[in-house]
Amino acid sequence: MISVTGVSKRYGDFQALDEVSVHVTPGALTALLGPSGSGKSTLLRIIAGLEVPDAGTVTLAGEDVTHVSPRHRGVGFVFQHYAAFTHMTVRQNVAFGLTVRKEPREKAAATVDRLLDVVGLTGFQHRYPHQLSGGQRQRMALARALAVEPSVLLLDEPFGALDRNVRNELRAWLRRLHDEVHVTTILVTHDQEEAMELADSLVVLNHGRVEQVGGPRELYDAPASDFVMRFLGPVTETPRGLVRPHELVVSAVPEPDATEAQVARIVHLGFEVRAEMESGDGSRITAQLPRAEADALELEPGQIVYVRAPHAPRPAEPDTEEDLVRV
């Protein structure tokens, strides 16, 4: 169990964290999600011991480690830019934690062999980091962090410096790895898709405060604030609040509670179509609907349509039953 309680951190005039409390379930993969400057990386670095909070406590497995050096915390840390030891081979990098702990040579060699196999770098063990691709370097960094059998694995935007294909591949790979190894993992990311895909639990941060904690589905279905709603996906503003574009119902004929709007632009997204519209009062409405539905409506720019939101706008009281009836 990792507990962060009432942690605050200032850098000069900037309040990076403001009385943040987070409790992480053992064995789970938790994502700290937020925009840049939200304090997510600072929180991760405080858990690792790379930063000391101005106030509050950090406990790992029931032990207060707030002022314990990172080397005695038993955490594995993976940096966005790999932090590879450039003058060491892949093998020496992975073995580093075992070498400085003076592990017996044969035992260390066996551990390193096993981890190189896990991350798929066995054939690259005598190369230097500059001879590896970004994705390979990050897998090496993961193996290096796992070698010391950390009680928690901390990943600071681990895929942020990689291009999209490699990122998606590594994401899937990390999820499989986590399901095999089951080490408690905290991942910092600003990418909501990455957080949703990987994490069992999400902590959404904004301006140094926790906005909401919950599972991916829970957060998507019942965001606690406009901020969470906006951060987790595209939104359209309606007079009653925020809705998701795909939840809007577009109709060619007037309907009760529907707003009249003029189609400004149609964007084909493959399976779905995005209709950008403008209502009578000048506000913009974006709806996303299946292609068949759009074809049936024969949507085209200039057309007048009627838009309504069958769901109650969120975030609101989770009293949605009544509103759903109208569909």
Q: Which residues here bind other proteins, judged by CB under 8 A?
A: 48-50, 69-73, 75-77, 79, 81, 83-87, 96-97, 99-101, 141, 144-145, 147-148
Q: CA 7 from chain center: how many Å? A: 21
Q: Output 32 or 309, the one with its CB closest to other proteins.
A: 32
CA dihedral 111, 112, 117, 121 (to 10 degrees): 170
Query: Does residue 190 contact residue 156 with C-beta atoms inside 8 Å?
Result: no
Q: Which amino acid is at 10?
A: R
- Which H/E stretch holds residue 228? helix 226-231
Q: Output 102 or 164, the one with its CB closest to other proteins.
A: 102
Q: Output 79 or 124, the one with its CB closest to other proteins.
A: 79
| Shortest CB 67 distance to other proteins, Å | 15
| Shortest CB 283 distance to other proteins, Å | 46
Q: Output 89 or 168, the one with its CB closest to other proteins.
A: 89
Query: Does residue 195 contact residue 189 with C-beta atoms inside 8 Å?
Result: yes
Radius of gyration of the chain (CA): 24
Q: Where are the beta strands (DSSP E) in 89-165?
A: 152-156
| Shortest CB 100 distance to other proteins, Å | 4
Q: Output 81 or 268, the one with its CB closest to other proteins.
A: 81
Of 181, 232, 174, residue with least CA distance to 198: 174
| Shortest CB 70 distance to other proteins, Å | 5
| Shortest CB 145 distance to other proteins, Å | 8
Q: Output 39 or 76, the one with its CB closest to other proteins.
A: 76
| Shortest CB 16 distance to other proteins, Å | 17
Helices (H), 160-207: 164-181, 192-198
Q: Output 88 or 297, the one with its CB closest to other proteins.
A: 88
Q: Where are the beta strands (DSSP E) in the chain?
A: 2-11, 14-24, 29-33, 55-60, 63-64, 75-78, 152-156, 184-189, 201-206, 209-214, 236-238, 241-243, 249-251, 259-268, 272-279, 284-290, 304-308
Considering Cα of 289, then 295, then 299, then 304, what sign does the dihedral take?
A: negative
Cis peptide before 315 (omega within 30 of 0): yes
| Shortest CB 184 distance to other proteins, Å | 15
